[in-house]
Amino acid sequence: MSVLFQTRKCLFKKPFNNTFCKYVFLRKNSDVPRKFVTFDEIVAQRRLEAQRSLVVQVNSESSFNELYGYCSKYASINDIHHYKNSGGENFMLIEFESEENLKEVLKSCCSHNKDHDLISVQSPFVWFRAAAGKKEKLVANGKNLAVKNGIEIIKEDVLYEELMNCETVSDQIQLLYDRTTLNDLGMRLRYMVARQLEVIFSSLYTNVRVQPFGSTVNGFGRMGCDLDLILTNTLTEEMTAAGRRLVFQEKRCEGGRGGARHMELAGALLELRVPGAARVVRVLNARVPIVKYAHDYTDLHCDLCYNNLSGAYMSELLWQLGELAPRARALAVLVRRWAARAGLTQPHPGRWVTNFPLTLLVLFFLQQSHAHLLPPLNLLVSCAGKEDTRIAEENLKCTFVRDLNKLPPESYGQNDDDLQTLLFKFFEFYSQFDFENKAISINEGRAIRKPNSLPLYIVNPLEQSLNVSRNVSHEECERLRLEVRNAAWHLESCPARSAEGWGALGLLERRAAPQLRRLLRLGTSHRLVSMRDLFREDDEPSVEGVRSKLRTLVKTDTEVETGVKEMKSEMVKEKRSDRMKFKNTQTANEVYRIRRGKIV
């Protein structure tokens, strides 16, 4: 498995074991031909890495020499990675050569015994106390930090500047992916947070396993995305061997699917025994009960659930499809971001789409004959062997081929379209999709008849009787349809390179001029008010209308007048662009209708 991380000009492809290093200049898209490794191998590799790692809070980046010198008295160190959390606190993730090494270091840890009310807890999160008495000289023997400030998220204005300077729209899509995707340290920390729970819960659950799933591992995650975790168990062959005659007594517990009561317990443990865990919220009535918490040392928002293995297998499936068509990842990252900017997705759940069904939309599009980048899931199922059998909760069959090398090579990747072309085709495809009558099935790889009248029907690939977008309202589905048409229109009539909002930029920021953008920035959320928020659908965008709407949103008259001027010039530009030509007349007509309806 490789982790891609990038500087501005070049990409380093770094395998976990550092055995080879490939330098790729000016990569055009994210396809890197390689022999496939399995998801389980990658997860196992990451778990091992976490089992020999420790996160140490330090005073600053310059604590490196002292920390290295101190720890290397007890154990051999592979690497030390530095990062800061949003509170400005400094941490170093130390990866030791082996788990035995880490155990030696942990033996040397102590409790901060000044406060007698505290009973300390052993976990892989510790802090580095200043030396007492005479200071010993500790050095790093010429070693350097593997990474400094390693989880800093790129600032929006820097990202936009870089996107502005790209040569092509494909480069923009690739750059967005490379600059925002979850990096190596981000991934290590997520496995450390999982490891922490595993260590703390292990006295209560034999063979406990806490496993990340969702966008952390499915290949579509970005820096800062939430961390979905499953509390489950690993039944090794050793543990279930018939020859072993002394068997642990067990405690059965009511709670049905999702184990709400286990989550109650986990909630209490998180509050009382897990250092760094804060703001614990229990959501126990949901179909899959979860406990949400913030992990302050790593700045992660975590959702912990119990034994929801289908979620993990779903993540594995998405990861596999991303391996077969790496361009899917770059496309999905852009589509997810576009959807957030267009207000189609929200940070909280509701009657709108979420990132998961959006990702399925991208994958489904890439299965279509004109894209021919991905096979239908049914092919992965038919290629599965005995070793691929997986049964999740409630006897759910999650069997599909795990070794992708077994797939016929002609069943995927049969298309050289660049990212720009694929993105345009994606929006065009959904502009014309018959959402009223058809359901999206990545199992079949084609649209099927909708079994009911829910506005958006995306078949759950692992539980085909379910619709993963059952929550989406008619209004939200309609908004999705309008926005894909707007996006297709934008790409079709793309402003010249370097113009305001050219290429992918126009999809990633609100369609407002910079001054108006500043003006409309509301509250602390830093989210922009869209033009659409200024009008009801039946409103005419008269200058008076704009003025009165703006008055309700901003404070001073000067701000209102500046906004009105900006809006007027936007309206003139839009009127001019109404005359633009479309290759596809159906899209053109629809877009014209939408634009006349003042929804843009």
Residue from the set 215, 359, 431, 441 that interacts with Mg ion by CB under 5 A: 215
Q: Which is nearer to ligand GTP, 230 or 599 (CB)?
A: 230
Which of 435, 388, 379, 382 minimizes the C-alpha distance to 410?
379
Copy the structure tokens of residue 354: 């979420």
> Smallest gap, in angstroms, from Cβ of residue 212 to Mg ion?
9
**Taking the mean position of all CA atoms in its chain, how far away is CA 582?**
34
Q: Which is nearer to Mg ion, 292 or 497 (CB)?
A: 292
Per CB under 5 A, does 357 bind Mg ion? no
Q: Which is nearer to ligand GTP, 342 or 531 (CB)?
A: 342
Say how many C-beta atoms besides its own lie within 10 A of residue 452's C-beta. Answer: 8
Q: Measured on CA atoms in the order 358, 362, 363, 364, is the torsion positive or negative? A: positive
Q: Which is nearer to ligand GTP, 51 or 218 (CB)?
A: 218
Per CB under 5 A, does 315 bind Mg ion? no
> Smallest gap, in angstroms, from Cβ of residue 449 to Mg ion?
31
Binding mask of the shown chain, residues 432 to 471, with x at each position contacting ligand GTP by CB under 6 A: ----------------------------x-xx----x---
> Smallest gap, in angstroms, from Cβ of residue 395 to ligand GTP?
14
> Smallest gap, in angstroms, from Cβ of residue 282 to Mg ion?
18
Binding mask of the shown chain, residues 206 to 225, with x at each position contacting ligand GTP by CB under 6 A: -------xxx--x--x---x
Instruction: Report d(CA 312, CA 214) in Å as an integer.
Output: 7
Per CB under 6 A, does 354 bind ligand GTP? yes
Residues β-bridged to residue 84: 90
Q: Which is nearer to ligand GTP, 318 or 512 (CB)?
A: 318
DSSP state of 155: P
Q: In what helix (H) or strand (E) does residue 365 lie, and over which residues does it extend? A: helix 355-367
> Smallest gap, in angstroms, from Cβ of residue 187 to ligand GTP?
14
Q: Which is nearer to Mg ion, 29 or 355 (CB)?
A: 355
- All residues at 6 or more sequence positions from 410 whose CB lies less than 8 Å from its CB, including other chains: none
Binding residues for ligand GTP, rule CB under 6 A, total: 19
- 314 binding partner (options ligand GTP, Mg ion, none; Cβ < 5 to 8 Å by kind): ligand GTP
Residue from the set 356, 400, 412, 489 that interacts with ligand GTP by CB under 6 A: 356
Q: For Cα atoms 220, 225, 226, give the angle at the middle one, nearest 5 degrees.
A: 115
Say how many C-beta atoms besides its own lie within 10 A of residue 437's C-beta. Answer: 10
Q: Which is nearer to ligand GTP, 166 or 353 (CB)?
A: 353
Contact indicator for 259, 307 with CB cutoff of 8 Å: yes
> Smallest gap, in angstroms, from Cβ of residue 180 to ligand GTP?
11
**Helix or strand or coil: residue 257?**
coil
> Smallest gap, in angstroms, from Cβ of residue 263 to Mg ion?
17
Which of 64, 51, 41, 43 minimizes the C-alpha distance to 96?
51
Instruction: Report d(CA 7, CA 384) in Å as an integer.
Output: 39
DSSP state of 236: -
Instruction: Report d(CA 520, CA 160) in Å as an integer.
Output: 18
Residue from the set 214, 219, 289, 501 that interacts with Mg ion by CB under 5 A: 214
Binding residues for Mg ion, rule CB under 5 A, total: 4
Residue 498 CA neighbour count, 13 Å, CB half: 2
Per CB under 5 A, does 228 bind Mg ion? yes
Buried/exposed code over 164-201 (b: 16+ C-beta within 10 A; e: otherwise): bebeebbbbbbbbbbbbbbbbbbbbbbbbbbbbbbbbb
Stretch that binds Mg ion, among 208-216, 357-365, 446-454, 530-538 (CB under 5 A): 208-216
> Which residues of 119-263 form beta strands (DSSP E)?
125-127, 208-213, 227-233
**Strand-strand pairing, 227-233 and 300-306:** parallel
Which of 96, 164, 162 minimizes the C-alpha distance to 124?
96
Residue type, 532: R
- 218 binding partner (options Mg ion, ligand GTP, none; Cβ < 5 to 8 Å by kind): ligand GTP
Per CB under 6 A, does 264 bind ligand GTP? no
> Smallest gap, in angstroms, from Cβ of residue 392 to Mg ion?
18
> Smallest gap, in angstroms, from Cβ of residue 339 to ligand GTP?
10
Which of 549, 546, 553 minimizes the C-alpha distance to 528?
553
Per CB under 6 A, does 228 bind ligand GTP? yes
Per CB under 6 A, does 507 bind ligand GTP? no
> Smallest gap, in angstroms, from Cβ of residue 312 to ligand GTP?
7
Per CB under 6 A, does 198 bind ligand GTP? no
Contact indicator for 332, 359 with CB cutoff of 8 Å: yes
> Smallest gap, in angstroms, from Cβ of residue 355 to Mg ion?
7
Per CB under 6 A, does 310 bind ligand GTP? yes
> Smallest gap, in angstroms, from Cβ of residue 216 to Mg ion?
7
- 462 binding partner (options Mg ion, ligand GTP, none; Cβ < 5 to 8 Å by kind): ligand GTP
Instruction: Report d(CA 380, CA 392) in Å as an integer.
Output: 18
Q: Which is nearer to ligand GTP, 525 or 585 (CB)?
A: 525
Q: Footprint of ligand GTP on this chain (CB under 6 A)? A: 213-215, 218, 221, 225-226, 228, 310-311, 314-315, 354-356, 460, 462-463, 468
**Can you give the binding site for Mg ion, defined by CB under 5 A?**
214-215, 226, 228
